[in-house]
Amino acid sequence: MKSVDNRGLDRSVGQIFRAEKEQLFIELPRETLQSKLLGGTNDLVKATEPFPLVDVIAVSKQELESKGNSVAFGAQGTQPPDKIYPSYLNQYGERVAIDDGSLIIGFKPAADLNLDAFTKRYELDRIWYDEIGSFGLFRSRRQKVDELLPRLRDDAWLLYAEPNLLLTEEDDDEPLDDMEAVYHFEYDGSALWNHKLIGLREAQEQTTGAGTLIAVVDSAADLEHPEIADRVITRSPAFNFAPDLPPRRHGTGVMSIAVGKGIGIASQARLLPVAIHTSGLKDYVTRARAINVLTKICREKRIWVDELQRFEPVNKLIVNCSWKLKKRYNLIAVEEAFRRLHEAGAIIICSAGNNGTEEAHFPSDYEYCLSVAGTTPGDEKTETSNYGVQVDICAPGGTGYPFSEDDIVVATLDAQECAYTAGTSFAAPHVAGAAALIWERMGDVPASAVIEKLLSEGIETIEAALGSFGNVMGSGRLNIAAAISPITTNER
């Protein structure tokens, strides 16, 4: 049983995060990639994305000051970085950025909670407050977070307080070579190796995932791509937590595997896209707000559809989080959000990560989430896939870069085109789609029954092919047909 319990931990900056006084994080616009950074040549080529992105780069304070607090952009001249934040080392020794002027505060369930009185007492400004999770992001008017946290510890309303951890890398960025058109093609409907391996055709003869809703919490996606356009239940801005970012390949690809009409697993499941920031110095805690919106849907068993101006029923919710985090972002607020979603009755599927290690990875390591590792056409471990006792199941994830027919076909940003890619991000939606197929077939049963069926019967033992990884890739490799065939009328 997985167990990662942050509650009770002292999450103050001084206890968990160690300041690197001479190190900084700066944010730069991506269009400067072909220029020089701080006098050195940036070895990244210009991306073909049709919109500006950002790069987050760690530099020393001395180096930045020596350049007059500006960055050299070649012919574009110099300008200050868009954002500057201090650097810290987290409990795993990884360099992370923290906004030392704001903090996350979670409150105990209390009828007498008075936020106005609380913020006045501690001289805080409320940036936002999430009523579903009873937590919020606050900015201190006078004190640094380190100075304020000791004062908060004895407050009767306080459940937890923790620093505002920021993303410091483009965690969903694909290898730049994958952006070239040579990898793009129009899918002709031919059988795919990953579909054959998991017995998809046999399963789809009995179930299509109808009556289920798969929420994909990921980058914004091209919702008009023909693979997924007809499956989107709503395009409401209420589910867009990154309104300033245009569609990305990652989210588009993940969604196409879950519900795509040709390359997807559950072609009749409905799709709820939930967009989050995946680049730049953005608050990681915002992802907890995105998860909480899904908890509300699961509790109420309905979703408001703007396009129809009415509620639609939601009795079976599956949530896919293919968060390609290279570092271990671990916040109480985020874990608590996943706990609430689990308790509300959703099935939560997470990618195991692509660091090729058995070290901690979040959110997949949380007790409430199913962690999915990646495998190749030959049932070996995908080279970059994480592994370990926290992994619950493995699914097709491809062989990895350079991409080929041994990788996973996904939808791209190019209309009607597909491409090859790899990683646990794309193994996870295989399992999300499988859960939808099984849940439809089983009928009106709780999420726990579907998970038990999936992990005990919806698998194929591949220990021999996995070799030394045989005991650290979960209960087995996904085989949907094996789970569907034994379902009896009693189970339904």
Percent with pLDDT over 90 in the chain: 60
Segment 146-157 shows an average pLDDT of 85
Last residue of a domain, one of 120, 135, 166: 166
Pick from 204, 206, 207, 210: nearest CA to 231: 210
Could you tell me if residue 171 is inside a domain?
Answer: no
Pick from 207, 329, 202, 324: nearest CA to 269: 207
Q: What is the pLDDT of residue 51?
A: 37
Task: Tell me, yes or no, whether 291 and 429 share the same domain.
Answer: yes
Task: Tell me, yes or no, whether 349 and 285 share the same domain.
Answer: yes
Higher-pLDDT residue of 176 and 116 is 116
Q: Which helix (H) or strand (E) holds 453?
A: helix 447-457
Higher-pLDDT residue of 245 and 84 is 245
Last residue of a domain, one of 130, 146, 166: 166
Segment 224-236 shows an average pLDDT of 97
Task: Tell me, yes or no, whether 92 and 192 share the same domain.
Answer: no
Could you tell me if residue 360 is inside a domain?
Answer: yes
Could you tell me if residue 284 is inside a domain?
Answer: yes
**Helix spans in 17-59 (H):** none
Report pLDDT digits (tens) over 329-376.
Answer: 889 999 999 999 999 999 999 999 999 999 999 999 999 999 999 999
State the DSSP string of 191-257: PPHHHHHTTHHHHHTT---TT-EEEEEES---TTSTTTGGGBS---GGGBS-TT----HHHHHHHHH
Which range, of 183-187, 315-319, 419-423, averages the lowest pLDDT?
183-187
Structure tokens at 166: 């920021």
Residue 75, pLDDT > 50, answer no
Could you tell me if residue 1 is inside a domain?
Answer: no
Segment 156-183 shows an average pLDDT of 63
Most confident segment among 25-29, 283-287, 311-315: 311-315
Residue 272, pLDDT > 60, answer yes
Segment 89-101 shows an average pLDDT of 82
Higher-pLDDT residue of 172 and 20 is 20
Buried-exposed string 351-385: b where 16+ CB fall within 10 A, e elsewhere: bbbbbeebebbbbbbbebbbbbbbbbeebbbbebb
* Whole-number Å distance between alpha carbons of 24 and 63: 10
Which residues does 152 contact at the CB level (< 8 Å), separation at least 6?
Answer: 105, 122, 158, 161
Task: Tell me, yes or no, whether 253 and 385 share the same domain.
Answer: yes
Residue 179, pLDDT > 60, answer no
Higher-pLDDT residue of 56 and 129 is 129
Mean predicted lDDT score pLDDT of the chain: 84
Could you tell me if residue 2 is inside a domain?
Answer: no
Report pLDDT digits (tens) over 29-51.
Answer: 654 433 333 333 333 222 333 33
Could you tell me if residue 3 is inside a domain?
Answer: no
Q: What is the pLDDT of residue 178?
A: 35
Q: What is the pLDDT of residue 422?
A: 93
Which range, of 73-82, 195-204, 439-448, averages the lowest pLDDT?
73-82
* Whole-number Å distance between alpha carbons of 257 and 198: 13
Which range, of 13-27, 174-188, 359-373, averages the lowest pLDDT?
174-188
Report pLDDT digits (tens) over 450-467.
Answer: 999 999 999 999 999 999
Last residue of a domain, one of 112, 145, 166: 166
Could you tell me if residue 372 is inside a domain?
Answer: yes
Contact in structure between 55 and 49 (CB atoms under 8 Å): no
Report pLDDT digits (tens) over 363-378.
Answer: 999 999 999 999 999 9
Q: What angle do CA 79, 84, 85 make, to 5 degrees?
A: 170
Q: What CATH number does the domain containing 366 carry? A: 3.40.50.200
Task: Tell me, yes or no, whether 242 and 370 share the same domain.
Answer: yes
Per-residue DSSP letter, 430: H
Half-sphere exposure of 443 (CA within 13 A, CB side): 6
Q: What angle do CA 20, 25, 29 make, to 5 degrees?
A: 175
Could you tell me if residue 183 is inside a domain?
Answer: yes
Which residues does 297 contact at the CB level (< 8 Å), separation at least 6?
Answer: 215, 303, 314, 317
Q: How confident is the model at residue 491 (pLDDT cuts 50, 70, 90)?
A: low
Residue 182, pLDDT > 70, answer no
Residue 14, pLDDT > 50, answer no
Task: Tell me, yes or no, whether 83 and 47 share the same domain.
Answer: yes
Task: Tell me, yes or no, whether 421 and 459 share the same domain.
Answer: yes
Per-residue DSSP letter, 283: B
Task: Tell me, yes or no, whether 235 and 275 share the same domain.
Answer: yes
Task: Tell me, yes or no, whether 307 and 375 share the same domain.
Answer: yes
Q: What is the pLDDT of residue 173?
A: 45
Q: What is the pLDDT of residue 492?
A: 55
Q: How confident is the model at residue 151 (pLDDT cuts 50, 70, 90)?
A: confident
Domains of the chain: total: 2
Structure tokens at 264: 């997807």
Residue 407, pLDDT > 90, answer yes
CA distances from 404 to 249, 377, 407, 409 (A): 17, 12, 6, 9
Task: Tell me, yes or no, whether 254 and 344 share the same domain.
Answer: yes
Task: Tell me, yes or no, whether 415 and 375 share the same domain.
Answer: yes
Q: How confident is the model at residue 134 (pLDDT cuts 50, 70, 90)?
A: very high
Report pLDDT digits (tens) over 471-483.
Answer: 999 999 999 999 9
Q: What is the pLDDT of residue 274?
A: 99
Q: Which helix (H) or strand (E) holds 317?
A: strand 317-321
Residue 9, pLDDT > 60, answer no
Task: Tell me, yes or no, whether 142 and 239 share the same domain.
Answer: no
Segment 1-28 shows an average pLDDT of 55
Domain hosting 111: range is 8-166
